[in-house]
Amino acid sequence: MSQNHPYRSFEVPSNAPFELKPSPGKGWGAFSTTKIDRGAVILKEKPLFVIRKPHEQITEEDVWTAFQHLAPSAKQHFLNLRDNACGPFTHMTKAFAENSFEVSNRTWLGASISPVHGLFLLHSRFNHSCIPNSKIPTNSDEIVTSFATRDIMAGEEITFCYNDDFECRNRHERHQALRFACNCKACLIGTPFQQLSDIRRTLIRGLNYLTHGVDVNGQRQEGPTSPIIVDRELKKAAENFCIPLSSRLIYELLVAYLLEEEGLLDDLRLERLNPTLWQITGSFHTESNASIARLAMKQKSWLEKFCMAFGLYGRADVADHVVSKGLRMLRGLSIES
Ligand SMILES: C[S@@+](CC[C@H](N)C(=O)[O-])C[C@H]1O[C@@H](n2cnc3c(N)ncnc32)[C@H](O)[C@@H]1O
């Protein structure tokens, strides 16, 4: 049956390190045809077409209008899309939603410009994993690029994580958001890894709350249901950016360690994490604190860094007040807590 499947008409570039084929239980997927090194580009892809609107505002008419402007071969490719490789889509908006990526979400003079969504025939064949081996970061141009986040062996399925906040979500929350049951290592119920994974991701969510003062959705958590931070004083301190530098360093290092254990500490994540860590380390003004922080950062493993930094636990720093003030200013809060 897969021999004359419409996806056979999708042209994978001859230099791309993967092929499209059925992926048991997941429709079709992309499988590596050679070893792909960590950090390597897997595919750069141009969209079939783009729609310059927020996702929730895209209508049947928008997709139909874009479709009408396509060349005949591109029209055929769009019509070849199948709902998870099975039947044709019932609505053009559904076909677009399932096969599109946000390609740019820019700001100009502080105002956000309407996001752009593009339809990508090949990248949309990549299936999801909560512990993926690739990443597709949002770019400022309209080309989508995937990178290997670890070495991928020939024959392995190439996957990426469909949601940005999944490092902070437990299995149940992830499956609710995905609307399908993922079967990756972090989702296989009853395994020690899965149980630890839920604990790790919950901890990461809490630690992020403590450092950013808000939950994963950018909001403060209000109300008594399943509090992320149980200690009300600590929650208030986080929301007012009164968490001392010593705790900030410890929390960030613990996040790094937990992400590594979870298999999520890839180079792109490190690019975000490292400047924050060095910024915190450079902010200590109390010399004894600064030297412990520098020593911690010199350690080889994340666990060693964390254990060394834990020596700072409970220690105040001369710079704490200034840092809190600065953070509150940046978030538009009153300078005094
Ligand atoms: C963008 S498509 C991915 C390619 C799709 N498998 C195909 O054949 O066209 C997304 C859909 O693939 C399926 N899918 C993706 N990842 C999956 C996973 N880890 N487990 C089960 N189904 C998955 C789901 O049906 C999802 O709605």
Q: Is residue 321 located within the same domain as residue 207?
A: yes
Q: How far is the CA of 181 from the centre of ligand 1 (A)?
A: 10
Task: State the closest ligand 1 atom to the C-alpha of 82, by its place in the atom list counted from 1.
Answer: 9
Spacing, Cα 128 to ligand 1 middle (Å): 7
- The closest residue, in CA terms, to atom 4 on ligand 1 is 125
Domain boundary among 109, 143, 162: 162
- Tell me the CA–centroid distance for residue 262 and ligand 1, in Å: 22
DSSP 3-state assignment of 333? coil
Position 179, amino acid: R
Residue 226 per-residue DSSP state? S
Domain tally for the chain? 2
ipTM exceeding the 0.85 mark: yes
**Cα 6 from Cα 73, distance rounded (Å):** 13
* Inter-residue contact 317 to 244 (CB < 8 Å): yes
Q: Is 122 in the pocket of ligand 1 (CB under 6 A)?
A: no
| 125 and 245 both lie in a single domain | no
Q: Is residue 59 part of a domain?
A: yes
Q: Cα separation of 148 and 145, whole Å?
A: 10
Does residue 186 form part of some domain? Answer: no
Based on the fold, state whether residues 156 and 202 are members of the same structural domain: no
Local mean pLDDT, 10-residue blocks, the chain (337 residues): 87 97 97 98 97 94 98 97 95 98 70 83 98 91 94 98 97 97 96 97 98 94 86 95 98 98 97 97 98 98 98 97 94 77
Say what the pLDDT of residue 238 is: 97
Residue 226 inside a domain? The answer is: yes
Residues 85 and 200 in one domain: no
List the residue whose alpha carbon is closest to atom 11 of ligand 1. 84
Ligand 1 proximity of 29 Cβ (cutoff 6 Å)? yes
Q: What is the pLDDT of residue 225?
A: 78
Q: Is the CB of 2 under 6 A from ligand 1?
A: no
**Residue 58: inside a domain:** yes
Cβ atoms of 250 and 313 within 8 Å: the answer is yes
Q: Is the CB of 98 under 6 A from ligand 1?
A: yes
CATH number at residue 149: 2.170.270.10
294/147 same-domain check: no
Give residue 27 CA to ligand 1 midpoint distance, Å. 6
pLDDT for the residue 105 = 65
The identity of residue 157, as a single letter, is E
Q: Could you tell me if 250 and 300 lie in one domain? A: yes
Specify whether 45 is located in the same domain as 104. yes
Residues 91 and 157 in one domain: yes
Residues 236 and 314 in one domain: yes
pLDDT of res. 114: 77
pLDDT confidence of residue 223: 81
Domain enclosing residue 152, as ranges: 2-162
Q: What are phi and psi of 193, to 5 degrees?
A: -60, -40
- Is the domain of 139 the same as that of 231? no
Q: Say yes or no: 242 and 134 in one domain.
A: no
6 lines ligand 1 (CB under 6 A): no
- Ligand 1 atom nearest the C-alpha of 179 is 27
143 plus 45 within the same structural domain: yes
| Gap between the Cα atoms of 47 and 117, Å rounded | 9
Domain assignment present for 168: no
pLDDT of residue 3: 81
Q: What is the pLDDT of residue 140?
A: 74
What DSSP element (H or E) covers 283?
helix 267-283
DSSP-derived letter for residue 183 is -
